[in-house]
Amino acid sequence: MKKTLVIFISIILTLSSKVKALELNAFTYWLDKNGLQKVSKIKSYDNRSEIPEKAKPNYDTLLYFYWKYTNRNWNNNPKYTDIKASENPYKFKSELREDNYVKKQMQKTALLSYLLFEDGKIVVDEISPKDKFGKVFTNETKFHSQSVGKSFASYILGHAICKGYVDSIDAKLNDWPILEDTLYYNQKIIDIINMKAGDAKYFSPNDTANRFNDTLSFYTVTNRTIPSVMAMEFEGSKKSGNKWAYNNLLPHLILNYIIFKAGKDDFKDLLNEIFSEKIGIEHDITLVMSEESAFSKNKSTTSTFLTTRYDYLRIARAMLQDWKNDTCEGKYLKSIFERKVKKNHDNYADKKHAFSNPKSYGGFFHLEPSGMKGRHIFIMDGYGGQTLTIDFDTGRIVTTLAVHRDFNWMKIAHSVIKKGK
């Protein structure tokens, strides 16, 4: 038995080293193709797919992970769909001003993009300079949403409710056979989108968001199909408590439930109605399927979206318009704000980021940032520094995209929303 285990481990290590060598060759080719100097001081963090949040990577490492984020990480995942660009994309008005602090942040940190929208116009527009990431990150680059996609899933849910595909946020998940004999069956949608599903014990204590509490589970939450997860991880599971517990499964669950209710064709039509016709996106948006979907008859979408810097702002602006105009979708946003719940805020030692600073959560949005109690501010946050912050009271929006969360979000976003500067 021990001999077999040693052989198995040896094979895995050999394959891993070969994959790493091929990966580095592809990265070197990409550097040459884009006129970038070869790098030598790369830290791979034990071949992780993402830079650890607390790491302090050098430029070579940042560039390597930027390549992974834009060329490799999602290549193993089939596309669920490409949402087509609008024939009449929304055109922003601009009245640009210089912000020296933001410029310094672009130079010194892993920020890729910063946009400030106020009074119906873009007033600060900064993109990574050429000597950082500017040779490879442009206005046309599609960058991953990470958990910002959770909030997009919520916005899609709002439209699905308004179109009549889903009854309401109080509807129970009792008509989807896949969920039978799991803790999610018969739960209200509001508890799912508020992350109060009572499922915390089924996720790894070492990675509560993205891995199941099963040492034999090879795939992350993001890479699994919903039927596979329900059968292998949650069969016979029981709800345990109702404290807020964040994980990556629940937005996937909601999106795939909408597909079940609407049908695949109508779901794709719904996406085009939202993003192409209503929002007016300038470039195609890719919605990524789980990796397991590539070799399974059961297909599941994730909540990962690949889109461009201005289209992220277009999506946030559409939410702002819905709120202001009190549309059906605007009423949905207001309802999830009213039904918000308290996060386990004391668990975060560092409260200086878009994820850890807000005290409440509602409908896959972070709510109630510090010092702004009672204000209608919605924050979308994704791993590594992808953030969209909307102040529905003033009409101000701040967006950031980054390779790594090493920038001063409190100053370039929180303070701007709180004080207007």
User: Where is average pLDDT lowest: 11-15, 115-119, 287-291?
Assistant: 11-15
Residue 44: exposure state from Cβ atoms within 10 A (0-12, 13-18, ≥19): middle
CA distance 28 to 42: 12
Give the position of tokens 């993402």: 50
Q: Supply the DSSP symbol for 410.
A: I
For residue 210, name the pLDDT band (cuts at 50, 70, 90).
confident
Q: What is the pLDDT of residue 8?
A: 38
User: Where is average pLDDT lowest: 193-207, 259-273, 366-380?
Assistant: 193-207
Pick the most confident of 212-221, 268-277, 290-299: 268-277
Q: Is 379 helix (H, G, I), strand (E, B) or coil?
A: strand
Q: Which of 413, 362, 367, 361 is nearest to 386 (CA)?
A: 413
Q: Taking a C-beta distance cutoff of 8 angstroms, is the pair 172, 332 a contact? A: no
pLDDT tens-digit readout, 156-203: 999 999 999 999 999 999 999 999 999 999 999 999 999 999 999 999
pLDDT tens-digit readout, 55-88: 999 999 999 999 999 987 776 678 888 999 999 9
Task: Note the pTM of the prediction, 2 decimals.
Answer: 0.94
Q: Is 44 helix (H, G, I), strand (E, B) or coil?
A: coil
pLDDT tens-digit readout, 22-53: 788 899 999 999 999 888 889 999 888 899 99
Residue 272 phi/psi, 5° resolution?
A: -65, -35
Mode of pairing for the β-strands spanning 121-127 and 93-94: parallel
Instruction: Say if residue 12's pLDDT is above 70.
Output: no
**DSSP element (H, E) containing 32:** helix 2-33
**DSSP element (H, E) containing 102:** helix 100-108
Sign, Cα dihedral of 362, 320, 253, 69: negative
Q: What is the pLDDT of residue 15?
A: 44
* Rounded percentage of the chain residues whose pLDDT exceeds 90: 78
Instruction: Say if residue 112's pLDDT is above 50.
Output: yes
Q: Is 241 left (phi over 0), alpha (psi -120 to 50) or beta?
A: left
User: Where is average pLDDT lowest: 36-40, 278-282, 405-409?
Assistant: 36-40
Q: What is the pLDDT of residue 100?
A: 97
User: What are the percentages of helix, strand and coil residues in the chain, rounded to 5?
Assistant: 40, 15, 45
Mean pLDDT of all residues belonging to the chain = 91
* Rounded percentage of the chain residues whose pLDDT exceeds 70: 92
Q: What is the pLDDT of residue 76?
A: 67
CA distance 329 to 132: 39
Q: What is the pLDDT of residue 218?
A: 61
Instruction: Say if residue 379's pLDDT is above 50.
Output: yes
For residue 291, name the pLDDT band (cuts at 50, 70, 90).
confident
Question: Which segments of 250-367 are extended strands (E)?
Answer: 285-289, 301-307, 341-342, 360-362, 365-367
Residue 318 phi/psi, 5° resolution?
A: -65, -40
Residue type, 98: E
